[in-house]
A = this chain, B = another copy of it.
């Protein structure tokens, strides 16, 4: 086992390169392909940076950004678990915890402990920082889906009710200021997809 702290860190940084090959359900906005978890992690960190004014006043945005940068690294070992998939949450939690221990365990002890704690905080979704991070992690794919004519939702025959149920509580709890627009955009999407010729009062982002 490597004990030079610099080499340990560089090894970790090499290992997580594989996140660039973990493919998520959501498309990129030009619909040329699906998004990978590395670029998703960058995008949600940008969401945090840009949308900090809509967080509760006790949120530390720098911690949220760090949390979002690392929130998906376990996927290097276990892959992405789709929100509309059917895997058992307990099984998934067990595998992701194993992966977190292995990956952060590559690092010097103190740094490993710090990042593992930050990852657990995100997973547990109790602190204000984690709740805001979790909300952003739902808002980004929701907007990708409404911006691409349904994206994942269309493919998986997801209904408006399922969207409101699967995204709603997390977004409403962690970032209430954004839930109304997310809800409205989702409703508009399903109204259009049911009646493709109807013109709606669109909340277009352009």
Contact = CB atoms under 8 A, between A and B. Distances in A.
Interface of A: 2, 5-7, 9-14, 16-21, 28-30, 32, 35-36, 38-39, 41-43, 45-47, 49-51, 53-54, 62, 65-66, 69-70, 107, 111, 140, 143-144, 147, 177-178, 181, 203, 205-206
Given A19-B42, A42-B45, 8 more contacts: A6-B54, A10-B181, A12-B50, A13-B43, A13-B143, A20-B43, A21-B30, A39-B42
B14 A21 contact: no
B20 A35 contact: yes
A70 B206 CA distance: 21
Given A35-B20, A39-B39, A14 B65 contact: no
A4 to B, nearest CB: 9
| Best-buried of A7, A32, A42, A111 by chain B (most CB within 10 Å) | A42
A136 B173 CA distance: 36
B14 A147 contact: yes
A99 to B, nearest CB: 16
Most-contacted residue by chain B among A14, A17, A32, A65 (CB, 10 A): A17
Q: Considering the complex of A and B, which 7 residue pairs feature the smallest CB-CB distances, nearest first?
A: A42-B42, A38-B39, A62-B62, A17-B29, A39-B39, A20-B39, A20-B28
A6 B180 CA distance: 12
A56 to B, nearest CB: 16
A70 B54 CA distance: 20
Contacts of A143: 10, 13-14
